[in-house]
Amino acid sequence: MKRAVARKGYTARDMRAVSDNPEWTKDDFARAKAFDEVFPGMRKGRGPNKAPTKRQVTLRLSPVVVDYFKAEGPGWQSRIDEALVKVVKRKRSSTTG
């Protein structure tokens, strides 16, 4: 008995059979317009926060620090921020008390 051979991906023939978006010709490209021309004012991006609670900065950290926090998984930048906030609070309380 023959075993079926599993194929990876789709062939060009498969794609043509299901495609309802034909390949563009040179004429199609010549008639094309830029997104901003067709939809003016639609591209906005993220924009500023209404009430920013953090400030963006560039900071160089030693590899030991970055590796330590990254090893704990996603959210490593927030964990660095939390650790620094704890240090600042501790320092403030020791100088004011």
Per-domain residue ranges for the chain?
Answer: 63-96
Tens digit of pLDDT for each residue in 22-81?
Answer: 788 999 999 999 988 888 887 677 777 778 888 889 999 999 999 999 999 999 999 999
Instruction: Name which residue leads in pLDDT, 47 or 87.
Output: 87
Query: Residue 41: its pLDDT value, please?
Result: 80
CB neighbour list of residue 35: distance below 8 Å, 6 or more residues apart = 42, 43
Query: What is the band of 19 on the pLDDT scale with cuts at 50, 70, 90?
Result: confident
Q: What is the pLDDT of residue 59?
A: 92
